[in-house]
Chains A and B, each alone.
Chain A
Amino acid sequence: EIVLTQSPEFQSVTAKEKVTITCRASQSIDGSLHWYQQKPDQSPKLLIKYGSQSFSGVPSRFSGSGAGTDFTLTINSLEAEDAATYYCHQSTSLPHTFGQGTKLEIK
């Protein structure tokens, strides 16, 4: 099973800041790494697929990068509505696994 480790687990930031969340895999992933946003009492929403491809309708301030075992989600110019928990997800091999989540608080 591929273990995904996200860092940080919690971050408190101010609006308009730039945020970087990392996801490290226990073994190399072929690019099948995806990012989701989950707001309280809502279901997860896809932000980034295959490491760097933005999903339809996602604001351009969200971007993804990375390869191999290290991947990054970047949020430029944070907005108040970005307060949420963010998860990475690998679909390279079964079982699919998720990172433990990064909770983003807007000061």
Chain B
Amino acid sequence: EVQLVASGGGLVQPGGSLRLSCVASGFSFSTYAINWVRQAPGKGLEWLSFINRGSDTIYYGDSAKGRFTISRDNAKNTVYLQMNSLRVDDTAVYYCARELGLGISYLDYWGQGTLVTVSS
């Protein structure tokens, strides 16, 4: 069974940092790309970032550029999202989602999400 488990969310003050993790199981992790997508409370989905299987192709959406860094460790079946300079409007559930590979495909399995709350 394909599983993606996101963790690392929590309450952080504006300007603070958090590192989210997404641990994969049930498939050959090193052959798939991973995306991060977030959803603010009561709002729609916003794509944030993509990393391919070899970490040599990385993309960011405007909300993530310059503040967030995506990385992966294929030995640990894990993708990370390092989030710095957090703002109140970064408050959201953050999902990791699997993609076939090139950044131009569908997201076939999603993790359960981890809630990030940015507040003083």
Could you list which residues of chain B lie within 8 angstroms of chain A, going by C-beta atoms?
A: 35, 44-47, 50, 59, 61-62, 95, 97, 103-113
Contact = CB atoms under 8 A, between A and B. Distances in A.
Interface string A84-99: 0001010111111111
Nearest to A6: B44
Contact of A101 (B35, B44, B47): B44
A44 interface: yes
B62 A46 contact: no
What band does the interface of chain A fall in when counting residues whose beta carbon is under 8 Å from B? 20 to 34
A44 B47 CA distance: 13
A55 interface: yes
Contact of A91 (B45, B106, B111): B106
Contacts of A96: 35, 47, 50, 61
A94 B112 CA distance: 24
B108 A46 contact: yes
Interface of A: 32, 34, 36, 42-46, 49-50, 55, 87, 89, 91-101
21 contacts: A34-B107, A43-B111, A44-B45, A44-B97, A46-B106, A46-B107, A49-B106, A49-B108, A55-B108, A87-B45, A89-B107, A91-B103, A93-B104, A94-B103, A95-B47, A95-B61, A96-B35, A96-B47, A96-B61, A98-B46, A98-B47
